[in-house]
Structure 1
Amino acid sequence: MGYLYTGIELVIGFIALFVLTKMLGKTQITQITTFDFISALVLGELVGNALYDDKTHFGKILFSIFLWGMLIYIIEFITQKFKSTRKLLEGEPTIIIRKGKIDRQAMKKSKLDINQLQHLLRAKDVFSIQDVEYAILETDGKVSVLKKSDAASLTRKDMKLPPEETSIPITIIIDGELLKDNLKQTGHNSQWLEKQLHAHGISKIKDVLYAEYKEGEPLYVQKF
């Protein structure tokens, strides 16, 4: 009977969550925000309690699932009906790269570091920050990217040009800290780096927010 009762609870919980998901719409899955993530954890915990806690009555859990679902639905209704509430309840997109420059304050506000930014950009097939004109951190944690015009997706094949060897950009400085192993990978030394920084009017590494090396191109540098 114990297995049968657990099975019945599991099926009922599955149906309840399925109905709730249909009620809330696809945005709860495809555009999950921080609030949505917390909601998913709470709903999962409610069903888990019903399955594995003998002292928890399943009827109360079922009631809690639908009450929580209604609260989420009300929040969604409010944000759709009253635009002024969206910033508070859903958050708003943040421009983290503006006109090719990293917005340091926006990064701090979003609790985002450069390594995380690079990861998000690579997910968009962007391997060099200097190829980005604008980058916007969306409310679901993803990044939307507008590339610079000279980095647009016009291929050499489109131009009927022969293929050219490509190389991955190498980050040399992040947040004023030199990445020695990465510098070594470029085949250059600290004296070369000092000359490159001096060419940008920079005398100290700690004054550099981000520096990137790309073979065959000048060193890309952005100050704090």
Structure 2
Amino acid sequence: MTILNTTVELVFGFFSLLILTKLLGKRQISQITPFDFISSLILGELVGNAIYDKDVKIWSIFYAVILWVVLIFIIELLTQKFRKTRTVLEGNPSIVIRNGEIDRQQLKRNKLDTDELQNLLRQKNVFSLREVEFAILETNGSISVLKKPEYGTPTNKDLNIPIKPVYLPVAFISDGCVDEGNLKKAGLTREWLDQQLKSQSISDPKEVMYAEWKQDEGLFISKKKKD
């Protein structure tokens, strides 16, 4: 009976978290603030601890999860409607490098040292502080960098290169399976794909690890390696 109850509560808790995570939106995972991080931890703890507590019933789990999500929704609405609440609940970005100079006060306020700052900059492919004009520490802990003009990447406009249209690549084959839906969206057929594969001496899509199509570049195929 204990195993059955645990199974039921675990399945119920799993799907409750799954559904509620979808309702809360992608912001709970990406662009996460300290408040979002804490709320996500507590939401998981509410379900996790309740599942293995014999005195807690399934409806108690449901009530606890619903109440916590309602509180999160209220906080989200407050931050959307009233700008002043964002500073308290979400925090403000901090300019840690201004006009090429490190702001030591901002580093100290955000409990950040120069080694950690360099680590964050390297994650943005910036390996020297001399390249940075401005660096902003975002509320989710990431850093945004504006390089000095002499270190900036030239654009097509800077180089007077004609601007070409941009196309998204579309996956046609993944791990040997053909995506018929993507083929149809691209206005192509399975017969066309088979012909393209045969032209590269591929008789079966199962021989392909990955294949994508791009309107301006055609079909790219990566074959599976033989064991």
Q: Same fold (TM over 0.5)?
A: yes
Q: CA deviation at 1:151?
A: 1.1
1:130 aligns with 2:130: yes
Q: Retained in 2: the 8 A contact 1:93–1:138?
A: yes
Cα pair 2:28 2:40 within 8 Å, conserved: no
Please give the alpha-carbon distance, in whole angstroms, between the structure 2 residues aligned to 1:126 and 1:46.
41
- 1:56 aligned partner, one-letter code: V
- Cα distance, 1:154 vs. partner? 4.1
Question: Can you list the C-alpha shifts for 1:91-144, whole angstroms capped at 9, x where unaligned?
Answer: 110000001110000111111111111111111111111111100000101101
Deviation for aligned residue 1:8? 1.6
- The answer for the alignment partner of 1:70 in structure 2 is 70
In structure 2, distance between residues paired with 1:108 and 1:137? 12
Q: Following TM superposition, by how much is the alpha carbon of 1:41 offset from its aligned partner in structure 2, in angstroms?
A: 1.1
Per the TM alignment, residue 5 of structure 1 is displaced from its structure 2 partner at its CA by 2.2
Q: Which amino acid aligns with 1:142?
A: S
Instruction: List aligned pairs for 1:10-25, cutoff 5 A.
Output: 10-25=10-25
**CA deviation vs aligned residue, 1:145-195 (integer Å, no higher than 9, x gap):** 11111111249xx99xxxxxxxxxxxxxxxxxxxxxxxxxxxxxxxxxxxx
* 1:29 equivalent in structure 2: 29
For residues 146 and 7 of structure 2, the distance between their equivalents in structure 1, rounded to whole angstroms, comes to: 50
Mapped partners of 1:114, 1:97: distance in 2: 11
Q: Where does residue 140 of structure 2 map in the other structure?
A: 140
| SS of match in other structure, 2:95 | strand
Corresponding residue for residue 188 of structure 1: none
2:29 aligns to what SS in structure 1? Answer: helix
Aligned residue pairs, count = 157
Q: Read off the aligned partner of 1:111 and give its amino acid letter.
A: K
SS at match of 1:30: coil
| Contiguous gaps of at least 5 residues in structure 2 | 160-227
Percent identity over the alignment? 57
Contact 1:136-1:145 within 8 A present in 2 as well? yes
Amino acid at match of 2:16: A
Secondary structure of the structure 2 residue equivalent to 1:144: strand
Counterpart code for 1:102: I
Q: Which residue of 1 aligns with 2:87?
A: 87
Matches within 5 A, 1:1-12: 1-12=1-12
* Structure 1 residue runs of 4 or more that deviate by more than 6 Å after TM superposition: none
Per-residue Cα deviation, 1:11-47 (whole angstroms, up to 9, x for no partner): 1111111221122211111111111111111111111
Structure 1: runs of 5+ lacking an equivalent: 160-224
Aligned letter for 1:66? I
Distance in 1 (CA, whole Å) between partners of 2:91 and 2:147 is 25
Q: Is the 8 A contact 1:49 1:56 kept in 2?
A: no
Distance 2:28 2:116 in 1: 24
Letter in 2 for 1:110: N
Q: Deviations over 1:185-211 (max 9, x none)?
A: xxxxxxxxxxxxxxxxxxxxxxxxxxx
Contact 2:46 2:61 in 1 (8 A): yes
Could you tell me how far 1:57 is from its partner in structure 2? Answer: 2.3
Question: 1:58 Cα shift?
Answer: 2.6
